[in-house]
Structure 1
Amino acid sequence: MSVSQLVDSKTHLVPGKLKVSELFFEVPLDYSNESKGSIRIFARSVIKHENPAIKPTEEETRKSSQKPWFVYLQGGPGFGCRPPQDSPITNVVLDKGYQMLYIDQRGTGLSNPISAGTLALQGDAQRQADYLKHFRADNIVRDCEAIRKILTADYPEELKKWSVFGQSFGGFCILTYLSFHHQGLREVFTSGGLAPVGHSADRVYRATFQKVIERNRAYYQKFPEDVAVVQGLAIHISAKNGLQMPSGGTLTVRMFLTMGIQFGFHGGLDLVHDIVLRMSSDLDQYSFITKPTLKAIEDVVR
């Protein structure tokens, strides 16, 4: 990890009395072969902004700047972190006396994001596959450890370990963290993303299939009129051989049905119904689905 370093840091204040620092780190692409080059990892740290009436002593300033770290690992995989001020967990964590760090995992957000365009830069399919192998949970955890050692270099020994919260895929990253680098962890929290230790993936999928059936049933019990409406929309999409999306993709029947993933979120039934209603209304008035409605679909299924 000798090549890992903090290469840029800028700090600003945001509403809510928060001090946010935008941090760029340089870490190895391949920790087993650092000659393969490095990538950038982006993170945002956040603490409460304080403006005391009496100037603090040097010791008080040091203690204030060396609060224990609480790290947020995003779900996905594939998503970067939202700005700290937009995440409800931020103030909860800060009120507990931590400073918080939101890390865009490698390949997401501003951390060397992976897309069709950026991946094409690697060359042929084999080179692309070899490159992608470096963006799994094992290296995400190695990045975390490299960053931890940088940020806590001058901390007292009892504060060098940090706390980690994993959301969905972030929970899987935490299991990897516990398996290989537990010595860097003070405490861990997971919100989903707990691997089925001792059980097969098939068992999990069977349970998921049953839950999908239950949620679909709940949707059509709440909006029984949508049975015929959804069937009609599927027929329309199929007859058009798919619909051109604002971003350039094609809305197929199968993609349309993937909106059902929202059934797993709070308010998801109502969100899907609203889109179905908009699609139906567009067809009734114009005989085609308008761009704003297609954009709403795109935001849900992307």
Structure 2
Amino acid sequence: MSTTFRRPGLVARDHVFRVPLDHDSPESGEIEVFGREVVAPGFEDADLPWLVFLQGGPGGKADRPQSTSAWLGRALQDHRVLLLDQRGTGRSTPAGRTTLAGMPPGEQARHLGMLRADSIVRDAEVVRKRLLGDEPWTVLGQSFGGFCALTYLSSAPEGLREVLITGGVPTLTGHADDVYRAAYPRTLAKNDAYYARYPSDVDIARRVVDHLAEHDVRLPAGERLTPERFQTLGIQFGQASRFDALHYLLEEAFVAGPSGPALSDTFLRGVDAVVSFAERPLYALLHEAIYCQRTASRWSAHRVRAEFGEFDLAGAPRVNFTGEMIYPWFFDQDPALVPLREAAELLAAKQDWPHLYDLDRLAANDVPVAAVVYHDDMYVDRDQSLESVGQVRRARAWITNEYEHDGLRTSPAVLDRLLAMNRGDA
């Protein structure tokens, strides 16, 4: 049964769809996939083309429309929008330590292995046919959503009117090692930019690391905050809206305690909000798997890091923060991940991941594709993205340094330009 609500600027209607967990074996059981249909007021019954939004991640639920934000306001001018919670996220059947608790690790890993882009695309096709019948729709893929869009083009292009990708063109053939070997230098460059803006934070960050090494400091959930977990706060550096957040945490890091300087509750609460995977366990569990095609990741980010001594904490005068990297020790230190440690190890060792991209089909593609490639993107490599765009027929790239990875959410001009590119107006 659908639920409808209104708020200024939009009308929303909720949908729940039942789909097979394993599309190749429907008898294996079903899960739910949730989507929220959004339209501008007064256009509830209008015959508008549909646009389905695929969120970044992996493991991110779709936007919750609290207002007609930058991209959504622009999309609602001429589309009916579906905000799709990808399987395992949000109001779709969730996957995490609680819901998977009754399964042995092997079964957990099998279930989690069904939550990649190939299954997300097959869900989307079920949803499209139930809502639109034979009509194609537009896909807007943000970050990992762009990865899914290219899988969509590879497996079900007949369902697509056009494709729009923002900061999400992956390597089509590279190993996860290639991804992280390119990512560490980009992350180091973001550290340089951060400390150029806030030079006094060099000393404060070093003090925090030294304090954590010498004291048992606990986060709100009760686990210890270690130096290496603090170091992961650089994940924010790739977004214009979050680049300065670390500075505002550090400026309130220390307070006077009974035995000397102590880390403040304000600081610890802010750190926990960034480093905890309680709200997005799939981000940690599947992050390296999204690059795997007949290969195992074998904790790629952890292994490749050994090539970049700039991120060593011991004795370094400057703390260089890491970015979008997942490490095996996350599953020892984060309470949301600890119960899934064995499943994570099985996923890291898995070698028979199916292919996500059909290079021949992409080379013959006839669906218009417009992609923005952010020149200084910390999360997705520019050169790898451009190489992939060149392998997709009818794909055009807009390269810009005006925006960071969150450009879609900061300016309606990003979506407006992509739509214009596919119309031939830009």
Say if 1:49 and 1:113 are closer, same or farther in 2 by CA, change over 3 A: same
Query: What is the distance in 2 between the residues matched to 1:75 and 1:282?
Result: 40
Q: In the alignment, does 2:72 pair up with 1:90? A: yes
Query: What is the distance in 1 between the residues matched to 2:272 and 2:14?
Result: 30
Partner of 1:108 in structure 2? Answer: 89
Aligned AA (1:290): S
Partner of 2:211 in structure 1? Answer: 236
Contact 1:73 1:103 in 2 (8 A): yes
Alignment of 1:1-302 (within 5 A): 8-16=1-9, 18-50=10-42, 64=46, 66-86=47-67, 87-95=69-77, 97-121=78-102, 123-153=103-133, 160-241=135-216, 243-281=217-255, 287-302=261-276
Say if 1:232 and 1:33 are closer, same or farther in 2 by CA, change over 3 A: same
Aligned AA (1:67): L
> Any idea what SS the aligned residue of 2:98 has?
helix
- What is the deviation of 1:270? 1.9
Say if 1:285 and 1:189 are closer, same or farther in 2 by CA, change over 3 A: farther
- What is the deviation of 1:207? 2.7
Query: TM-score, normalized by length of structure 2?
Result: 0.61
Query: What is the distance in 2 between the residues matched to 1:148 and 1:284?
Result: 61
Aligned AA (1:176): T
Query: What is the distance in 2 between the residues matched to 1:233 and 1:284?
Result: 18
Structure whose residues are more often helix by fraction = 1
Contact 1:84 1:102 in 2 (8 A): no
Q: What's the Cα RMSD here?
A: 2.1
- What is the deviation of 1:289? 2.2
Say if 1:249 and 1:77 are closer, same or farther in 2 by CA, change over 3 A: farther
Aligned AA (1:138): D
Query: What is the distance in 1 between the residues matched to 2:207 and 2:81?
Result: 49
Say if 1:282 and 1:210 are closer, same or farther in 2 by CA, change over 3 A: farther
- What is the deviation of 1:183? 0.5
Query: What is the distance in 1 between the residues matched to 2:63 and 2:241?
Result: 20
Aligned AA (1:139): S
> Any idea what SS the aligned residue of 1:254 has?
helix
> Any idea what SS the aligned residue of 1:81 has?
coil
> Any idea what SS the aligned residue of 2:53 has?
strand
CA deviation vs aligned residue, 1:31-74 (integer Å, no higher than 9, x gap): 111111111111100111118xxxxxxxxx86x1x311001000
Moved more, 291-300 or 25-34: 291-300
Partner of 1:55 in structure 2? Answer: none
Structure 1 runs not aligned, ≥5 long:
1-7, 52-60
- What is the deviation of 1:218? 1.6
Larger radius of gyration: 1
Contact 2:49 2:137 in 1 (8 A): yes
- What is the deviation of 1:239? 1.1
Say if 1:251 and 1:42 are closer, same or farther in 2 by CA, change over 3 A: same
Residue identity (%): 39
**Number of residues of Structure 1 aligned to a counterpart in Structure 2:** 275
Query: What is the distance in 1 between the residues matched to 2:257 and 2:156?
Result: 56
- What is the deviation of 1:102? 0.3
Aligned AA (1:151): L
Query: TM-score, normalized by length of structure 1?
Result: 0.85
Partner of 1:57 in structure 2? Answer: none
Query: What is the distance in 2 between the residues matched to 1:79 and 1:224?
Result: 33
Query: What is the distance in 2 between the residues matched to 1:90 and 1:282?
Result: 45
> Any idea what SS the aligned residue of 1:118 has?
coil
> Any idea what SS the aligned residue of 1:142 has?
helix
Aligned AA (2:224): T
Moved more, 127-136 or 78-87: 78-87
Query: What is the distance in 1 between the residues matched to 2:54 and 2:149?
Result: 8
Contact 1:73 1:170 in 2 (8 A): yes
Contact 2:255 2:264 in 1 (8 A): no
Query: What is the distance in 1 between the residues matched to 2:179 and 2:146?
Result: 16
- What is the deviation of 1:284? 10
Query: What is the distance in 1 between the residues matched to 2:30 and 2:248?
Result: 45
Say if 1:32 and 1:282 are closer, same or farther in 2 by CA, change over 3 A: farther
- What is the deviation of 1:197? 3.1
Say if 1:45 and 1:286 are closer, same or farther in 2 by CA, change over 3 A: farther
Aligned AA (1:89): W
Q: For CA contacts below 8 A with separation 6 or more, give which structure has more relative contact order.
A: 2
CA deviation vs aligned residue, 1:151-198 (integer Å, no higher than 9, x gap): 013xxx6xx100001111111111110000011000001112212235
Moved more, 196-205 or 69-78: 196-205
Query: What is the distance in 1 between the residues matched to 2:174 and 2:258?
Result: 49
CA deviation vs aligned residue, 1:82-140 (integer Å, no higher than 9, x gap): 22344421110111x1100000000011111111111113x211111111121111110
